[in-house]
């Protein structure tokens, strides 16, 4: 049994890879677990242990009908939270603005509660050989604009956050690309 509890919220739009990241955090290497994933409804809470910590990961459904409820009731969810993982699907160019708007709503909710919470942003589905596909040849440029012109301007200076590139193909290898 672990000596300490840690609560993590995993948020982002639907189909961005939140549950996949949760499986990776749990070190679930059973390929069938990944192949049988279904959209998360409302909130799914998973408990696992890592380095003497009991980790409680709250995986939030990202469909539109759930996102508004999550923001409305954010004060309830944010109690005793140690970290928020916010996931953006880098391959879903058409929903970058929607993903950023949801992130902005989350940040405003954190500020309203006057909380200081570690924030990790995962630019997910940055898969090996992604740039070899014609539709993603300029992915690095789009991500650079996303980070430098949008995320940096969106997050207040008082927030501590990190931005990672991640992919399920490396069983959740994460590459830190920014930390403040």
Cα distance between residue 166 and residue 90, in whole Å: 10
Q: Residue range 14-32: average pLDDT? A: 78
Cα distance between residue 33 and residue 35, in whole Å: 6
Please state which architecture CATH assigns to domain 4-179. Answer: 3-Layer(aba) Sandwich (3.40)
Q: What is the pLDDT of residue 60?
A: 95
Could you tell me the pTM of the whole model?
Answer: 0.87
Cα distance between residue 23 and residue 164, in whole Å: 17
How do residues 141-178 score in pLDDT, each as one tens digit? 988 888 888 999 999 988 999 999 888 776 545 566 77
Domain boundaries, the chain: 4-179
């Amino acid at each position: 049994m672990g000596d300490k509890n840690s609560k993590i919220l995993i948020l982002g739009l639907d189909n961005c890879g939140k549950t996949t990241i949760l499986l990776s955090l749990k070190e679930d290497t059973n390929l069938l677990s990944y192949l049988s994933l279904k959209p998360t409804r409302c909130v799914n809470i998973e408990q696992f242990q890592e380095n003497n910590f009991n980790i409680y990961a709250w995986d939030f459904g990202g469909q539109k009908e759930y996102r508004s409820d999550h923001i409305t009731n954010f004060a309830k969810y944010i109690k005793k939270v140690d970290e928020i993982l916010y996931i953006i699907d880098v391959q879903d160019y058409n929903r970058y603005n929607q993903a950023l708007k949801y992130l902005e709503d989350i940040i405003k909710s954190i500020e309203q509660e006057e909380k200081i919470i570690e924030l990790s942003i995962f630019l997910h589905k940055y898969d090996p050989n992604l740039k070899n596909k014609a539709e993603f040849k300029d992915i690095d440029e789009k991500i650079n604009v996303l980070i430098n012109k949008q995320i940096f301007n969106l997050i207040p200076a008082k927030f501590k956050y990190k931005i990672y590139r991640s992919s399920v193909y490396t069983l959740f290898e994460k590459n830190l690309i920014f930390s403040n």
